[in-house]
Amino acid sequence: MSGDEASSYNNPNEVWLHGKGAWLAYILLLVVLRLAFASVPFLSVPVSFTLTNVVHNMLSFYLFHLMRGTPFVSADQGESARLTQWEQIDAGAQFTNTRKFLAAIPIVLFLLTSHYTEYDPVLFAINFVSLCIVMVAKLPQMHKVRLFWFFGRKFVDHEK
Amino acid sequence: MNNSISHLCFFQSLPLIILKLDATQTHRVYYCCCIIVLTLHFPPPLRLTQRMSAADADMVAQLSLLEIANLLLAKLLSYVPSLPSHGPIFELLHHAFYEAPAYHLILEGLLVLSILWLVVRKSDKSKDKGPKLTAKEVEEIIAEWQPEPLVPVSGPEPVVVPVVQGPAAAFVQIDGQKKINLASFNFLNFVGNKKVEDAAVTSLKKYGVGSCGPRGFYGTIDVHLELESKLAKFTQTEEAVLYSYAFSTVASVIPAYSKRGDILFVDEAISFPLAQGVLASRSTVKYFKHNDMADLERLLIEQQREDAKLAKKAKLSRRFVVVEGLYANTAEIAPLKRLVELKWQYKVRIMLDETFSFGVLGDHGRGITEHFGISPEDIDIMTSSLEHAVGSIGGFSYGKTFVMDHQRLSSQGYCFSASLPPLLASAALCALEAMEKSPDMFTTLRSRSKAIHAKLSTALGRHLVVSGDASAPMKFLTVKQTKGRAADEALLDLIVSKANDKNVVLTRARYIEDYERVQRPPAIRIALNIGHSEGEVENAIRDIAAAADEAAKAHSS
């Protein structure tokens, strides 16, 4: 799937994200998360849906945008060790299918959530803020940008 | 019957139930249980019949697949008319258009648009692909294509070198004439040495020509191990690692230790192999002026300040100072004492290339460490060559075992090259034994170098300048009154050819100019050899001076 990429090697840390199976698994995990919250008896529908949305966004923000490095050895002399998972996708190319899919998921989830929360302003605010955080992090303008000190040391691009 | 069919429908419509997420809490728990039951009792229609009454089961069993599908469809469709009053989709739409606040509707509209935009937007990647071409268009483009010549049509004249018959020893045969060789790096006269030759021939008869594999893959032969331990003993270090080619030694040792993100402090005048190693390491490179320790210290202080800002990053990166013992490009000796002081003060490691200093400097030929009386333990990584003073082929790296051992799995030149042909290892062993036995050859070489330096300066003073350290066995002769690069090169070439006529073989120092960081001035490079007697060298100097006079006259007219 990534044979037409500009890079001459596959980054084992991100190639699995291209698979349609991975996308399906993502959606199924989301459904499982939703059902897990739905099965807690004392949670109302709006609260359980909000929890689903916020937990999903927090997890994806941590895994895609905060955590850096490579569990598997990549063939780039450690270049991707300083990149987040999101930055490693498709060797940094923007608006690829994988990126589009991963960006569409939180939006759709937010739309569903806002209906099932019955437009409660407090829940809306929580959901919207969590959506904004993950969507801003996915913007091409934020590629290799490190915002706050607690997100780690400054990014120094050796390529330039 | 009705009951069982509705059960059937219930299980078949599980996907619908999962979507119907706004059920009451008890329902939700029930749905979850249903999913588990479904997965445990697959396939459901068969299992269900067992739990039905006998009559119902019979009836279901008699139904064809098509009939079951029809029943299911009918059940599903029965939900549709209920939508306007109390179905979930109706509620959703009703909410959206009548109860949701306006800002919500606008936001949702924007979000839906953003999804559509995402779907429609082309990937940045697809821009590179270009338009799709038909087979005919492809053929047209191929037919139109005119290949560029492999070599430039015009360019510098090819270098014409004299053809030597026999070994390139102290004296060479060119066109049947015996000429004195001042062009080859054969300081200790081991090239053409009968004893070394015999050792190589004996080894050739025993082992054959090649070693048939890299060191780690059936390519290690006893003479390799013998030579490694001999080199370690000779250099007074713990371990030596043998390479099959001097160029690839230093060019692969540097990238074996210094990686992307590490920092190299590099002397501007380093020779081509070192420059290639520095390039291959992908490290951050900081150049200091040739042999200028004040400039190096300035860079180190600068680095210290940067490190204070990014302490976490600084901890992770390695730093090396890359220097040569005796510079191939300038014949200058590195100020090693000051370098070692700086090393301890600023916590950097030293990579020292002893290609030209090994077998030349020091009372026992151990190189620049012996020359300055510094323990080899103070230098972290050293590399050297068997191709210069030792007169064989190959290179080696030496130092502490725990540092050197890393190369045996991580150095490209060591791991992926066939090992040194055993006959060359034997030749090097023989030469090393001779070096051990008679260390007076090093003092001879040095005193000869100093004497010749003074003699060259006086004899050639009118036209040429002698540069380099006086005790270095190679001398650079540059033009005194330069008239531009091309004119100087022409003059020097003329001197070389006139000297050749007088039976003195010289060569110009040649560089791949596009790859040099600092352009070296055009120069004739003289390499001394202890195989020449003092009288022979004096005659040669006289001949060079005469050639220079003639050439200068011809050049100016």
DSSP B84-112: HHH-HHHHHHHIIIIIS-HHHHHHHHHHH
Burial-class residue B248 by CB neighbours within 10 Å (0-12, 13-18, 19+).
buried
Of B366 and A68, which is predicted with more confidence? B366
**Closest CA in chain A for residue B262:** A158
What is the nearest CA distance from A35 to chain B, expressed in angstroms?
7
Q: Do A38 and B21 touch (CB under 8 A)?
A: yes
The pLDDT of residue B514: 82
Q: Do A38 and B284 touch (CB under 8 A)?
A: no
* The dihedral formed by the CA atoms of B69, B74, B77 and B81, expressed in degrees to the nearest 10: 180
Q: How many other CB atoms are found less than 10 A from the CB of residue B440? A: 9
> Residue A3 has which token pair?
């044979």
Pairing type for strands B171-174 and B177-181 reads antiparallel
Residue appearing with tokens 């990429």:
A5
**Closest CA in chain B for residue A80:** B260
Contact residues for B73 (Cβ-Cβ < 8 A; gap 6+): none
Whether the CB-CB separation of B249 and B395 falls below 8 Å is answered with yes
Would you put residue B307 in left (φ > 0), alpha (ψ -120 to 50) or beta? alpha
Distance CA B141, CA B147 (A): 12
Query: Which chain B residues contact residue A45 at CB under 8 A?
Result: 21-22
Rg of chain B over Cα atoms, rounded to whole angstroms, equals 40
What is the nearest CA distance from A74 to chain B, expressed in angstroms?
14
The pLDDT of residue B50: 45
H helices of B244-321, in order, are 246-257, 272-281, 293-309, 311-316
Whether the CB-CB separation of B180 and B540 falls below 8 Å is answered with yes
Task: Indicate the residue of A93, A118, A156 with minimum beta-carbon distance to B95.
Answer: A118
The pLDDT of residue B76: 61
A45, A105, B47, B209 from A117: Cα distances, Å: 7, 18, 39, 82
Q: What is residue B333's DSSP assignment?
A: B
Identify the H or E element spanning B114.
helix B102-120
The pLDDT of residue B10: 52
Distance CA B214, CA B218 (A): 7
Of A155 and A24, which is predicted with more confidence? A24
SS3 (DSSP) at B313: helix
Contact residues for B483 (Cβ-Cβ < 8 A; gap 6+): B491
Length of chain B in residues, anyone? 557
- CA A125 to centroid of chain Cα atoms: 20
Q: How many other CB atoms are found less than 10 A from the CB of residue A65? A: 19
Q: Torsions phi, psi of B177, nearest 5?
A: -100, 140
Give the residue from A7, A31, A33, A39 with the most B CB atoms within 10 Å of its CB, the best one to mutate: A39
Would you put residue A126 in left (φ > 0), alpha (ψ -120 to 50) or beta? alpha
The pLDDT of residue B122: 78
The pLDDT of residue B108: 84
Chain B residues whose C-beta is within 8 A of a chain A C-beta are: 18, 21-22, 25, 28-29, 31-32, 35, 92, 95-96, 99-101, 104, 107-108, 111-112, 114-115, 118-119, 121-125, 128-129, 259-261, 282, 284, 310, 312-313
* The dihedral formed by the CA atoms of B208, B214, B215 and B216, expressed in degrees to the nearest 10: -130
Give me the residues paired with residue B521 across strands: none
Distance CA B228, CA B222 (A): 10
Class in CATH terms, B164-189+440-556: alpha beta
What is the nearest CA distance from A65 to chain B, expressed in angstroms?
20
Distance CA B312, CA B306 (A): 11
Task: Write A117-120 long-range contacts (CB < 8 A, 24+).
Answer: A117/A46, A117/A49, A117/A50, A118/A46, A118/B95, A118/B99, A119/B95, A119/B99, A119/B100, A119/B101, A119/B104, A120/A46
B39, B45, B466 from B9: Cα distances, Å: 16, 10, 101
The pLDDT of residue B401: 95
Q: How many other CB atoms are found less than 10 A from the CB of residue A27? A: 12
Burial-class residue B259 by CB neighbours within 10 Å (0-12, 13-18, 19+).
middle
Q: Do A77 and B114 touch (CB under 8 A)?
A: no
Distance CA B259, CA B330 (A): 28
The chain-wide mean pLDDT, for chain A, equals 83
Q: Do B123 and A104 touch (CB under 8 A)?
A: no
Q: What is residue B557's DSSP assignment?
A: -
Whether the CB-CB separation of B479 and B491 falls below 8 Å is answered with yes
Q: Do A111 and B96 touch (CB under 8 A)?
A: no
Q: How many other CB atoms are found less than 10 A from the CB of residue B312? A: 8
**Closest CA in chain A for residue B101:** A119
Q: Do A107 and B96 touch (CB under 8 A)?
A: no
The pLDDT of residue A152: 54
* Of B424, B404, B505, B445, residue with least CA distance to B246: B424
The pLDDT of residue B333: 95
Chain A residues whose C-beta is within 8 A of a chain B C-beta are: 4-6, 31, 34-35, 38-39, 41, 43, 45, 49, 77-79, 90, 93-97, 100, 103-104, 107-108, 110-111, 114-116, 118-119, 124, 128, 153-154, 156, 158
- CATH 3.40.640.10 in chain B is located at 194-437
The pLDDT of residue B402: 93
Q: How many other CB atoms are found less than 10 A from the CB of residue B154? A: 4
* Of B245, B281, B238, B275, residue with least CA distance to B261: B281
Angle in degrees, CA B326, B331, B333, rounded to 5: 45
Would you put residue B428 in left (φ > 0), alpha (ψ -120 to 50) or beta? alpha
Please provide the CATH number assigned to the domain covering B194-437. Answer: 3.40.640.10
Whether the CB-CB separation of B493 and B508 falls below 8 Å is answered with yes
- CATH 3.90.1150.10 in chain B is located at 164-189+440-556
Whether the CB-CB separation of B389 and B188 falls below 8 Å is answered with yes
Identify the H or E element spanning B178.
strand B177-181
What is the nearest CA distance from B122 to chain A, expressed in angstroms?
7
Distance CA B274, CA B469 (A): 21
**Closest CA in chain B for residue A43:** B25
> Tens-digit pLDDT profile for chain B (557 aa)?
344 444 544 554 554 445 444 455 555 555 555 555 554 444 434 334 444 556 666 666 667 677 777 776 666 666 544 444 455 555 666 666 666 777 888 888 888 888 888 888 877 665 555 677 888 999 999 999 998 888 877 776 677 778 888 888 999 999 889 999 999 999 999 998 999 999 999 999 999 998 889 999 999 999 999 999 999 999 999 999 999 999 999 999 999 999 988 999 999 999 999 999 999 999 999 999 999 999 999 999 999 999 988 888 788 899 999 999 999 999 999 999 999 999 999 999 999 999 999 999 999 999 999 999 999 999 999 999 999 999 999 999 999 999 999 999 999 999 999 999 999 999 999 999 999 999 999 999 999 999 999 999 999 888 899 999 999 999 999 998 888 888 999 999 999 999 999 999 999 998 888 888 888 999 999 999 999 999 999 999 999 999 999 998 988 87
Of B71 and A14, which is predicted with more confidence? A14
- CA B168 to centroid of chain Cα atoms: 32
Identify the H or E element spanning B137.
helix B135-144
H helices of B282-421, in order, are 293-309, 311-316, 336-346, 368-372, 401-404, 407-410, 412-415
Instruction: Sketch the domain layout of chain A as residue ranges.
Output: 43-146
Residue appearing with tokens 């220097």:
B323
Burial B380-411 (b: 16+ CB within 10 A, else e): bbbbbbbbbbbbbbbbbbbbeeebbeebeeeb
Whether the CB-CB separation of B165 and B143 falls below 8 Å is answered with no
